[in-house]
Structure 1
Amino acid sequence: MTNRQDPETAAPAAPTGSLLLGDQLCFALYAAQRAVTAAYRPLLDELGLTYPQYLVMLLLWEHGETTVKELATALHLDYGTVSPLLKRLESAGLVRRERSERDERSVLVALTGRGEMLRERAADVPQALMEATGLCGAEAERLRVELGHLADRAGKAARAR
């Protein structure tokens, strides 16, 4: 009796050293990221947000007022990317930025009333994305955990070089 793997769950291993595009983990991640972002687009258009702006709002809805530095660190973005994002959110009336009274070098970011109210409208986005992609909760959680582990390993490898 032979052990057989389910063909839907078993994928052939990419040959070591393969330079075929379809064998590259980085390309699979890139294609998935672009597809997921595209699936979010119509949902976020209704909120008047881009995907990166949505990530900023998620962080602020979860943690409340935070510094630009903490926000950039949490989102794995550099200051040069975060600053224009915040400027657009501020001009849309969703966030406010102000210098910290305790440390003038630090800029605090907080939601405005309008930003808080947008949270209610955004509450349906996660479920709508799940339905649009056909993922069940367990599949999404498994992917999230595995991608988190991959991000940690890749981050360590990048820092080691």
Structure 2
Amino acid sequence: MENLLLKNQLCFKFYALSRHITSLYKPLLDELDLTYPQYLVMLVLWEHEVMSVKAVGEQLMLDSGTLTPLLKRLEQKGLLSRNRSTEDERKVNVSLTAEGREAKQKAACIPEQLVEGVSLEADEVKQLFSTLNKMMNQIPK
């Protein structure tokens, strides 16, 4: 029955760690007036500039019911715009505004500040990324 103890549940370790890391992001993201899910959307757009809503959802593993309200809020904040594709009306593209591109500069220090907050050595962070990537690649798409 050891396998049913909470302390032995891998899923709980991930859940608790996710909540802790998200709480570390909160004061950093408050300065940008972003929630953590909004920050994830912005990370994707900072990398790609323009993407379809579908592609953003695929990158973040979010369905349109979750993603659409995030995009609407970010559009209201002036960080992105949503426009129908001229090639296919069914497709909606998301693109950064000038203000959205400026926010990238303000956010540039966040990853480094977060790593400092978790007190891991560089080689430990590298190993953790490797392990997590291996696990993520096992998830059925």
**Bin for the TM-score computed over the shorter chain:** over 0.9
1:52 to 17, 37, 40: 37
Where does residue 5 of structure 1 map in the other structure?
Answer: none
Quick one: which amino acid aligns to residue 86 of structure 2? E
Question: How much does 1:141 deviate?
Answer: 2.1
1:140 to 119, 125, 141: 125
Q: Deviations over 1:108-161 (max 9, x none)?
A: 0000000000111000101111111112332222112211211222x23xx7xx
Q: 1:1-161 maps to which residues of 2 (within 5 A)? A: 18-153=3-138, 155-156=139-140
- Structure 2 unaligned runs (5+)? none
Distance in 2 (alpha carbons) for counterparts of 1:32 and 1:151: 16
Distance in 2 (alpha carbons) for counterparts of 1:136 and 1:40: 19
Distance in 2 (alpha carbons) for counterparts of 1:87 and 1:41: 21
Q: TM-score, normalized by length of structure 1? A: 0.83
Structure ranking higher on relative contact order (CA contacts 8 Å, 6+ apart): 2
Distance in 2 (alpha carbons) for counterparts of 1:64 and 1:87: 17
DSSP 3-state at the match of 2:29: helix
Moved over 3 A (4+): none
Aligned residues: 141
Shifted more, 21-30 versus 126-135: the winner is: 126-135
Distance in 1 (alpha carbons) for counterparts of 2:76 and 2:116: 32
Identity of aligned pairs, percent?
A: 48
Highest CA radius of gyration, 1 or 2?
1
Quick one: which amino acid aligns to residue 76 of structure 1? M
Quick one: which amino acid aligns to residue 125 of structure 2? A
Higher helix share: 2
The root-mean-square deviation of aligned C-alpha atoms, in Å, is 1.4
Distance in 2 (alpha carbons) for counterparts of 1:80 and 1:141: 34
